[in-house]
Amino acid sequence: MNKHKLSWKFPGNNFTLLRLEMVFLIIIAIIVFIFSYYDFDQRWYIGLVFTLIFLVAYFLVSSIVQRIRMVQNTYRVTPSHIEIHHQHRFGEKKSKIPLGNLKHHKTDRTFLGGYLVTHKGERHSLFFNTKKEIERFEAFLRKHKRK
């Protein structure tokens, strides 16, 4: 890999759900189970059936939406700028942000995301596939933002 460039694509090949989406899905599934458990005279198997129906419906709708929109973000970071290419079936958006224009950046290793804020107040979302990508991005930014 070139030491002067960093790039990645999101979503990766093994992408199914965002981590944040997975957390909320688990919470909602627990709520569905609890409500259906108490609504049907505390029979756990009915609660389990309704929870499974909810999860199957969610994954079905999610996969259909992913196939329709076909979203892909491509990030390329060089010592002078960051290029973000966001494309989906219905259009695309390209951004080129010089590193000197970055006011603030924040990454979240738990949910594998983040954002950049420029001096003009523009905000750009970042999505990562792994924690290793976040670490490489932060190290690259620290090294080249000082210059």
- More confidently predicted of 91 and 18: 91
Do 78 and 122 share a structural domain? yes
For 20-29, the pLDDT digits (tens) are 788 899 999 9
Compute the residue count for the chain.
147
What's the one-letter identity of residue 21?
Answer: E
Query: What pLDDT is recorded for position 89?
Result: 86
Do 82 and 41 share a structural domain? no
Query: What pLDDT is recorded for position 84?
Result: 94
The model's confidence at residue 90, banded by pLDDT at 50, 70 and 90, is confident
What's the one-letter identity of residue 135?
Answer: E
What residues contact 8, with CB distance under 8 A and at least 6 apart? 74, 75, 128, 129, 133
Do 44 and 106 share a structural domain? no
Do 77 and 54 share a structural domain? no
Token pair, residue 79, equals 């010592």
Give the integer Cα–Cα distance in Å for 7 and 5: 7
Do 119 and 59 share a structural domain? no
Beta-bridged to residue 8, according to DSSP, are: 75
Q: Tell me the whole-structure pTM to 2 decimals.
A: 0.74
- Does pLDDT of 107 surpass 90? yes
Give the integer Cα–Cα distance in Å for 143 and 129: 22
Q: How many domains does the chain have?
A: 2
Do 79 and 64 share a structural domain? no
